[in-house]
Structure 1
Amino acid sequence: MKIVDLSPAVPHGFKGPPSTNLGVQLNVRTKNGTGYWQSTQLDLMSLHTGTHVESALHTVEGGEPIDQVALERVIGEAVVLDLTPVEPMQILDVQDLERANEGLEAAGESIRPGDILLLRTDWAQEHIGTPEYFRESPGLTEAAARWVVERAPKAVGCDFFEEPAAREPGWEAGEFVVHGAILGAGIPLIEGLVNLRELPPRVSFFAPFYKFAGVESAPARAFALLED
């Protein structure tokens, strides 16, 4: 089997969402002498930085926290919906998803209920970790998000920042219509993926995440397994 890493590296200074204006701060401590020792402290990082999994609590008051999301819901068969090519700040609507779905079916695949649905734009390949990743990302309309929900996936993954309203600070919570549709349906959302272009239309997918208690998100190390 071949492993395809679907998570970016997160170096010092890696930028998180514009609402937090946080860059990752890694405080490295070392000791020398008879040997070498290193221990690094993570001082500042939004839980929505890099590859991460979000639960309903992100947009639903009293919703499911991330530690109650079973790993089975982010591990399993995934299908890749290829939305490329896209332009900066392009808003993807139902017709764009339908067109990509036609291409998927032409390749002999389809979106099955219970699949993990991966939305590929390749936006993250060059931009994740930069301010442009959020502020100039393609996005989805609310109708497109509801189209996704209607396919009954058990999780949804993206390699772009799908919420147009949150590109800049100053948004209202009710404007998170894409998150509201997907997370409101009880579907975990996996954001910050990379390397989706290396995957076939159907693949075994894994997004194990850190088990923080009582919060809405956790960092993940996503990967796929390909048969040689």
Structure 2
Amino acid sequence: MTRIVDLTPAVPEGFKGPPSTNIGVHFEVRTKVGEGARGERPYWQSGQVTMSLHTGCHVESALHCFEGGEAIDQVALERVIGSAVVLDLTPVEERMLIDVPLLERAVERLRAHGEELRPGDILLLRSDWAQRAIGTPRYFPRSPALTEAAAHWLVAKQPKSIGCDFFEEPAAREQGWTADQFVVHRTILGAGIPLIEGLVNLAQLPPRCQFFAPFYHFAGIDSAPARAFALIPEEQP
């Protein structure tokens, strides 16, 4: 028996996206209530949403940082579905820089549970920051982030994708950043590794699990919303 763990935050009205876009989630809903022949009131609703594609849980492709790069519809689902390992980085403080030694300590934690990193794994980086702040104005500017060296370390492990429950780019936490300062994104996406951002509930996962991040099949754009989840063995009574 297996259990589904939902790794995607709910996105209500007003949920905050990246500060660079200055867009919060806004819903517009149209409804109609009719009068039926027997006194019933048939109901109809149709909604639309305005938001950045980098809001909540989403998958990013190389086009996010490279002109002419791989668009999100060119990312096969197999690259965001499969066996995943959780690198437990906790405890992690606000605005902390996650460096190579911290990643290596997380690997030692993994080994203590009898697991190893393998090429082709999906790497899930757990900080628990999203549990505290995703969707609020604090999430992006106060988030922990990866160093450039940490990004290169991750790429060297040859994962097929990388997921985070924090905003991993340190430069974008500050005002006035430029695209060339996106060193973490450029390192990971430039290596052909999709990024899965905005995850939650990673604390509920074992060291290894089956992970899924199916995303909306937008064409010719850099990102798409995802509904990430994991399958884990159900505890027996």
Q: TM-score normalized by structure 2? A: 0.94
Structure 2 match to 1:17: 18
Contact 1:12 1:24 in 2 (8 A): yes
Contact 1:47 1:217 in 2 (8 A): yes
Q: CA deviation at 1:98?
A: 0.7
Q: CA deviation at 1:168?
A: 3.4
Show the 5 A alignment for 1:191-206: 191-206=197-212
Counterpart CA distance in 1 for 2:221 and 2:7 is: 23
**DSSP 3-state at the match of 1:4:** strand
Contact 1:19 1:168 in 2 (8 A): no
**DSSP 3-state at the match of 2:4:** strand
Regions of 4+ moved over 2 Å: none
Q: CA deviation at 1:126?
A: 1.7
Structure 1 match to 2:5: 4
Structure 2 segments unaligned to the other structure (5+ residues): 35-40
**Superposition CA RMSD, Å:** 0.7
For 2:168, the aligned partner's letter is: E
Structure 2 match to 1:40: 47
Structure 2 match to 1:209: 215
Structure 1 match to 2:185: 179
1:117-165 alpha-carbon deviations (Å, 9 max, x no partner): 0000000002000111101000000000000000000000000000010
Q: CA deviation at 1:31?
A: 1.1
**DSSP 3-state at the match of 1:200:** coil
Contact 1:18 1:168 in 2 (8 A): no
Q: CA deviation at 1:87?
A: 0.5
How many residues are matched?
Answer: 227
1:39-65 alpha-carbon deviations (Å, 9 max, x no partner): 1111x2100000000001111111100
User: Residue 224 in 1 paired to residue 230 in 2?
Assistant: yes
**DSSP 3-state at the match of 1:180:** helix
Structure 1 segments unaligned to the other structure (5+ residues): none
Q: TM-score normalized by structure 1? A: 0.98
**From 62, 65, 68, the counterpart of 1:62:** 68
Counterpart CA distance in 2 for 1:183 and 1:224 is: 23
**DSSP 3-state at the match of 1:132:** coil
User: Residue 91 in 1 paired to residue 97 in 2?
Assistant: yes
Q: CA deviation at 1:29?
A: 1.4
Structure 2 match to 1:117: 123
Structure 1 match to 2:37: none
1:58-109 alpha-carbon deviations (Å, 9 max, x no partner): 1111110000000000000000000000000000111110111111111111
Identity %: 73
- Tell which structure's C-alpha radius of gyration is larger: 2
**From 105, 113, 124, the counterpart of 2:111:** 105
Structure 2 match to 1:136: 142
